[in-house]
A and B are shown apart, each in its own frame.
Chain A
Amino acid sequence: MKRTFDTGNAAITEAAIRAGCTLFAGYPITPATEIAENMSRRLPQVGGYYLQAEDENAALHICNGGSIGGLKAMTATSGPGFILFADAFGWAVSSEVPVVIVNSQRVGPVSGITGAPGQGEFYLSRYLTHGGNFETIVLAPSSVQEAYRLTVRAFYLAERFRTPVIVLADQMVTDGWETLELPETDAEFHAMGLDVVPRRVHPGPEFYPATDDIDVPPVVLGHNTGAACSDWTPTDRGHDTEDITWQHKHAWRLIHKILNHRDLIDEADEWFLDDDPEVILVAYGTPSRVVQKTVKAARHEGLPVGGIRPISLWPFQDHLFSRKAIYLVVELNWDGQLVREVQRAAVDGSSVHFWGRCGELPTSGELLEVINKLLKYEPLERDGWRTEKW
């Protein structure tokens, strides 16, 4: 194991290389620029291709094009570029093309502040394209080491599910410096629970089977298999069709190939839940680091507090919220996004509360204050714009 001190950007780069990525197309954007820079240095060393696209829309389309040629591809961006992926993301979802997308979230809306972390794309990552009738796989790292692990996972899941996988990080994860352990041998790599699925080539002719099967090889052009892929609703052979029956088969497959194999995707950390604590804090990404520390501090004070950190965000893990409790959802936004899903998923009799921070992390101190109020059933409402309303 090679022990280094590095950024999440570097971790993501090394993970992509280890997973077999040979194509990166991107557009410079803070705070994800360093991923592009690192890829421009590392890819040629392993015989891969780095391209600077004319915009993010082109970046993901170039990745899609490389992927249907058989290359493993990745792009990385932040919010203003992420929104431009809509077109290409939809194409990859519907054509069932493996590709990995990293979003280092910064505070918004729109361009916002380049150097401050945000969590504004929780829903956008689920619905990064139009038309509905699909499921999305989204993974959220909270540390440099985990950025490595989840990027490798993203490539693994993309190949097995034939779909784009999003690594939803934030500015503190990608810019932050931490200890990073890089496996040097296959044994070390596998010991981390990681694996690589090599690109396979679908032999045809049924490129789009009407099943919920995973491990269907992707459509790869250039092998004269009669491969056909497009943005249109496909027949099993990939022909465009206006037949509603094929539409139903296609939509069913896009949804259920993911929902029916959730055991491969679902991942979460749970802290101090064994004694069914009264209050459960919920967060993903960097704020979850503060939450974890706060839960420990609260336990030290004897408070009945636990914590949940969804690691895979989508499909949403409703089952995590089956304990009747007072949930406190902590996010890096003021409008409340994750909290809406928790509110929907929380078992009857629970109450769900929100603590949002805009462009900056909460402190353990303030979270402990909030916990104490919740334990006394006191309202969280504060002055003016600082209310719990979401």
Chain B
Amino acid sequence: MKILVPVKRVPDPATTIRILPDGSGIATDNIKWVINPFDEIALEEALRIKEKQGGGDVALLSVGQQAWQEQLRTGLAMGADRAILVRADQPLDTLAIARVMAKIVGDEKPELVIIGKQAIDDDSNQVGQMLAEMLGWPQATFASKVEIAGTKCTVVREVDGGVETLAFELPAVITADLRLNEPRYASLPGIMKARKKELKEIPVDSLGLDLAPKLKIKALAAPAKRQAGRKVGSVEELVGVLHSEAKVI
């Protein structure tokens, strides 16, 4: 089966974000860049499906700058077969990114797109759902379990108050949640092999799409800092202050 896995380059989740004084963005010096953690989970799931089926094609797709090659190489080292980088240097909103992906899906014709549920930088949680709609495909977001039998797919989803099971025919878009799997690390032989794998670049302008952003970030600001309170010496004191000072119990 052909599976497409979108990959976004994001700051390592452990990074402390600093906002530039003029509010135009974040300071990018001293940031370690990684694959969006949810995309690693999506890739792991794609690799497992391929392994289970005893073959297939797992392609990575990024819509970003030259530097994103680094994360694509990491994904190739984890085991993806090839990668596509749609080179775009201008800022794109989620709608434009989904539109680019829909175009690539149209050319590549995968049977399945597995994508992270959310990018941990913009926290939008949109692209997978938008892509599914643009393609007219079913979607299963926040997946914690995926089962495929022929062209039939069953997904268990994490929703409010429990878990839901959906069924549909492929092709489809699945968005990965944290509990779907534990991603593997790239092995040394994997890293060696990755250097020789195909990484195709496509200039975004060559796709002939309307990509003018309809959502623009005007400014970034730091949220109000919460003041650290104080330490209490005992359980008794804690219950006392909650009762008499904070008046919450």
A binds B: no
